[in-house]
Structure 1
Amino acid sequence: MLGEILETRVMVKSGMKVDKDDKTLQQLLNNRQLALKLIANVTYGYTSASFSGRMPCSEIADSIVQTGRETLEKAIALIHSVERWGAEVVYGDTDSRFVYLKGRTKDEAFKIGDEIAKQVTDMNPRPVKLKFEKVYHPCVLLAKKRYVGFKYESPTQQEPEFDAKGIETVRRDGTPAEQKIEEKALKLLFRTADLGAVKSYFQAQCRKVMQGRVSVQDFCFAKEVKLGTYADKGPPPPGALIATRRMLRDPRTEPQYGERVPYVVIAGAPGARLWERCVEPERLIDDPHAELDAEYYISKNLIPPLERIFNLVGANVRQWYDEMPKVQRIRMLSAAKDGENGGKGRKTMESYMGSSLCLVCRAKLPPVQNQHAKQATAQLPLCGSCRYERTARTLLALRGKLRTAEKKVKDLQDICRSCANLASDEELRCDSRDCPVMYARVKANTAAAVTRAGVGSVVEQLEEEVGARRVFEW
């Protein structure tokens, strides 16, 4: 019975290699081979159960384990005994083994691999068969069931396939940014063998995170929540805390057992604990005063997985980050003016900062001597040339900024309305956290509001000055 199950699984896995472009067929065949594998495993598990099991027979279970171990040890001894192969078994686990062929080419590795598979199969009774699956070149072996490399499945394959097992690129308890950056860094290392290129890429990504030029969706954690299983001592995990907050607002939002609840880590006051800075993604994109905690994400989320891999080749990833100039981002906020609400709209230090550069030509504005001139300059951050000599060109440039910001918002809204099948005059209420367009739309709305608050008032005042000037000339 087990022989038929194993042979059927081999046939199904062979069929998966025929039409790799058909994702539906690939998913169907993968589910079938996995079901056959689990049936075979359960058959062994039934015999290993105690007297209360369905087929208790510990002698069969013990003999299976011992026979598997002996088969593995004999195969390793055979591989080491043939000197012309020059092979070294660096990792063996249950029914698989990694063989290191130092100094060999890809074609030589395929040839030796076929020979090893044939000799190991011949020395074992049927139906034991050692299958030669693939060649990794290059490869990084971290620990048991944790490895990554460029995979070749046949000698004629020209372009390798990135294959990872057990590392962060295929795990779901991290962030998408962590997966993308680690995969791109590994591909750079495998293709170029240049740690300088990897360092430049990593520092560029850290710079983007510190400057806020990233998508919120790429920095969402989504870990399993199992309410009712956490101890009363200390705060629960961030995901459970977010789920509890939602349930207090609406009891119907209680998550299923093991459901993944997304959250992000925002910058907080000095000394604030981690669970206090974990919030829902919606709060981050709706609150203009909130921003991602760049230091936490880089130090705790991006660097550790890269360190585990690149320490093996003598690279210090944390030192790469320490060498960088740190960027403290100044957020663009539209705060209330001094005369509005008593200045209560100003919640951050950035709200009190006036621009020292011209909005159009970016020339540095001269320092203002008296208080009246200072108020006028604060209301109109333009240099003398743009304000008086090139007024028409200045108005055209500022209106172009407003138009660009508004057009970007409209284009993203049109995409969302088309997706939701809404008319142009209907209110858009889509808040799907899985859609990247939603994050881009909210970000564009915030940027457009900032542009209207900053550039719009300058355009209005400049138009008033132009109108007054024309009346005076008339």
Structure 2
Amino acid sequence: MTDPPLSTMSFRPVTLKLEKVYMGSVLVSKKRYVGNKFEAPTQETGVIESKGIETVRRDSCGVVQHAMQVSLETLFASCDLSKVKKTLEKYWQQILEHRVPLKDFIFAKEVRLGTYSNESAPPAALVSMMAMEKDPRAEPRYAERVPYVVVNGPPGARLMDLVVPPDEYFDKRKRHSINYHYYINKQIIPSLERLFLLTGANIRLWYATLPRSSVKARQFDNATPTRRSSRGCRSIDSFYKSKHCRLCGSLGNDTLCADCIANPQRSLLAIHTAATRHEKAVMTLNFVCTACADRDAFTSCNNVSCRVWNHIKLFETDKSTLSYQE
């Protein structure tokens, strides 16, 4: 390949080199843009490069980053907004059907205690203050990132009333549930609007017209109309009760279906098999944590971004279900 004409006009040894070309780009504002980057003429697939938007910002959460990433990939690959809409609808349904891991809903924002008033403290600072009420040694360092999630609450509740640390969410998972509509309406959609309003797409209308038939409501196996949230207010989830057999999953009105009741030995074997499998999985995960910490015994870990940590917390939540079945 010969040198470009501009390189031939330069004095030796100065030559011009092609750094990159954006074949498709979105300019949000100054120093905030994203483009489909190509660095060589032989490169067939572009690489998305983001500057200053949510996909590379640390103060965002995983669901926002993933939604923006997949929508941009679809847009640059097809230049078809209808395909972008289908991609977002699929991801929104995954969120509403509880098929997205908790680590993608965790915010981790900097806290600078001593610089806020009680009325204007951000959610991360409120979580830190609640932790310090239980243990004064839990005070975060200046500008330390404090994780939290947003859960459901009573109608009209403020954001400061809906934030809890990830540990508390797992410990009281039967009482807390992720506020999916907050993440979609207040986090995902505004971030996408800053990009796609330039193309004329109405992201809020896409979500408003999302088919709700496939959205599964969260069901609690031990739900009763008298169960209340931590702040003394009922939520609609507290009235849901599963009609599925706790053992085989078939529909029925009782805790166990007629077939499982008619075969007690088979049912007992299935319960003990599940309990054994559960214990082996927990032992394996604890071994991974022990190796990661380089300790001879399992130690407490609060790395909320770790996939192993998320699995351990899920198994701890399932332990109560197995104990109830036994």
- Shared fold (TM-score, shorter chain, > 0.5): yes
Match of 1:148 among 20, 24, 34: 34
Q: Percent identity?
A: 38
Distance 1:137 1:414, change over 3 A: same
* 1:449 equivalent in structure 2: 320
- Distance across 2 between alignment mates of 1:300 and 1:312: 19
Deviation at 1:441, TM superposition (A): 0.6
Deviation string for 1:303-358 (max 9, x for gaps)?
1111222222332221221112444632435579x9xxxxxxxx877677654344
- Distance across 1 between alignment mates of 2:114 and 2:236: 42
Deviation string for 1:87-113 (max 9, x for gaps)?
xxxxxxxxxxxxxxxxxxxx9xxx9xx
Between 291-300 and 236-245, report the one with greater CA deviation.
236-245
* 1:429 equivalent in structure 2: 300
CA contact (8 A) 1:333 1:351 kept: no
Amino acid in the other structure paired with 1:136: Y
* 1:381 equivalent in structure 2: 256
Amino acid in the other structure paired with 1:287: K
* 2:161 equivalent in structure 1: 276
* 1:417 equivalent in structure 2: 290
Match of 1:329 among 213, 217, 220: 217
* 2:310 equivalent in structure 1: 439
CA contact (8 A) 1:235 1:275 kept: no
* 2:99 equivalent in structure 1: 213
* 2:197 equivalent in structure 1: 311
Question: SS at the partner of 2:309?
Answer: helix
Deviation at 1:255, TM superposition (A): 2.8
Higher helix share: 1
Superposed counterparts of 1:1-400, under 5 Å: 132-230=18-116, 232=117, 234-288=119-173, 289-326=175-212, 327=215, 329-332=217-220, 355-359=242-246, 362-365=249-252, 378=254, 380-383=255-258, 385-388=259-262, 393-400=266-273
Distance 1:331 1:433, change over 3 A: same
Deviation at 1:228, TM superposition (A): 2.6
Deviation at 1:168, TM superposition (A): 1.0
Question: SS at the partner of 1:155?
Answer: coil
Deviation string for 1:347-374 (max 9, x for gaps)?
87767765434445544437xxxxxxxx
Deviation string for 1:37-74 (max 9, x for gaps)?
xxxxxxxxxxxxxxxxxxxxxxxxxxxxxxxxxxxxxx
CA contact (8 A) 2:23 2:37 kept: yes
Say how many residue pairs are matched: 313
CA contact (8 A) 1:220 1:264 kept: yes
- Distance across 1 between alignment mates of 2:89 and 2:7: 48
CA contact (8 A) 2:219 2:242 kept: no
- Distance across 2 between alignment mates of 1:238 and 1:129: 53
Deviation at 1:254, TM superposition (A): 3.0
CA contact (8 A) 2:109 2:146 kept: yes
Which one scores higher on RCO, CA 8 angstroms, separation ≥ 6?
2
TM-score (norm 2): 0.81
Question: SS at the partner of 2:167?
Answer: helix
Deviation at 1:200, TM superposition (A): 2.4
- Stretches of structure 1 that go unaligned for 5 or more consecutive residues are 1-106, 339-346, 367-377, 457-474
CA RMSD between the two structures:
3.4
Deviation string for 1:355-401 (max 9, x for gaps)?
434445544437xxxxxxxxxxx4x5212x4433x555544444444
- Stretches of structure 2 that go unaligned for 5 or more consecutive residues are 227-233
Deviation at 1:302, TM superposition (A): 0.9
Deviation at 1:267, TM superposition (A): 0.8
CA contact (8 A) 1:263 1:280 kept: yes
Deviation at 1:153, TM superposition (A): 2.1
- Distance across 2 between alignment mates of 1:411 and 1:358: 29
Amino acid in the other structure paired with 1:204: K
In terms of Rg, which structure is larger?
1
Deviation string for 1:11-32 (max 9, x for gaps)?
xxxxxxxxxxxxxxxxxxxxxx
Deviation at 1:444, TM superposition (A): 1.6
CA contact (8 A) 2:223 2:240 kept: no
CA contact (8 A) 1:243 1:254 kept: yes
Deviation string for 1:232-251 (max 9, x for gaps)?
37231112222223333333
Question: SS at the partner of 1:444?
Answer: helix
TM-score (norm 1): 0.58
Distance 1:150 1:222, change over 3 A: same
Question: SS at the partner of 1:149?
Answer: strand
Amino acid in the other structure paired with 1:387: I
Question: SS at the partner of 1:329?
Answer: coil
Amino acid in the other structure paired with 2:72: L
- Distance across 1 between alignment mates of 2:55 and 2:237: 37
Deviation at 1:212, TM superposition (A): 2.3
